[in-house]
Amino acid sequence: MSAPTPVHRVARAVLWGDAVVTFIAGLALYPLARRADTSFAWTIKAPITAAFLGAGYWGAMLGIVLAAMTREWQRVRIVFVIGIVLTTVMLLPTFVYLDQFHLDEGSSTAKKLAWFWLVLYLVQPLVVLAVFVLQERAGGRLERDVEEPLLPWFRFVVLAHVLVLTAVAVAIWPVRADGFWPWSLPDLGAGAIAVWIVTFAAGAAWSLREGDWRRSRLAFPPYLAFLVLLLLAALRFSEGLDAGAWETWTWVGAVVLSFVVLAVGAVQQELIARRRLTAAPTAPA
């Protein structure tokens, strides 16, 4: 068997660059959520909306850092797929609501972030896609052997997430169905949140396509971190939620349930993988 395709130094450089970018975006949106109405690329009046987006960026940052420290392309591929989805789909709400960005008005910080956002999402999809193609052509596309299959019940849970997350994203934007989201969302905020939900749904769908825990595991730490950050944001900005509304408790319950079942599945898959690795016979000296 030939050696696995290594992660090229260009791909690693792109990953570390993305880690810096996602950290900055998350910093401007998560801990500084209350300032997002005047100091972000566009006006975000509800701090919990800003925190939701920031949770997405900081969750993604975890996956990017883990990918940057991984040597085999087949294990990193899923992170690039997620990145391609995020950076490409985010162009939709960006250009639909471009007039709401602080490109020529607002605070100095807001204008800088608006231009940074625009340039980033124009350039990043091309860069990430180019690296993906480079690595796949180098041999990565051939490395599809399933050594650690996903457990049947875990596949079902992941598939359920794909379907539910996709439906929620469509309902939020562009359909804009009212009456189920726990706080009010303006058009641009709804579009950006929908993109993040689609992105995580795409990561789950790709993990099903891979069908192998070794090549899927990097998709789960970012999503689990995202869910934890959402719960912390809900506690921090509880004034933006109606404690007596069913929408609030349905949303919180869905976040908690998702975290529990996915964490249990990921831990079980990891334990099985480690037991199999330990039980594998060693080559004679």
Helix, strand or coil, per DSSP, at residue 212: strand
Alpha-carbon distances of 245 from 181, 241, 250, 271, rounded to whole Å: 10, 8, 9, 39
d(CA 249, CA 170): 21
What are residue 17's phi and psi, to 5 degrees?
A: -65, -40
Helix, strand or coil, per DSSP, at residue 7: coil
What are residue 30's phi and psi, to 5 degrees?
A: -90, -70
Handedness of CA 273, 275, 279, 285 (dihedral sign): positive
Q: Give, for all 285 residues of the chain, the pLDDT tens digit.
A: 568 899 999 999 999 999 999 999 999 999 999 999 999 999 999 999 999 999 999 999 999 999 999 999 999 999 999 999 999 999 999 999 999 999 999 899 999 999 999 999 999 999 999 999 999 999 888 888 888 999 999 999 999 999 999 999 999 998 887 778 999 999 999 999 999 999 999 999 999 999 999 999 999 999 999 999 999 999 999 999 998 899 999 999 999 999 999 999 999 999 999 888 787 665 444
d(CA 153, CA 268): 11
Q: Measured at the alpha carbon of residue 231, what is the angle toward residues 47 and 162, in degrees to the nearest 5?
A: 100
Could you tell me the two tokens for 17? 């660059």
Domain layout of the chain by residue ranges: 9-279
What residues form DSSP beta bridges with 149?
212
Q: For residues 191 and 97, is the Cβ–Cβ distance under 8 A? A: yes
What residues form DSSP beta bridges with 228?
none
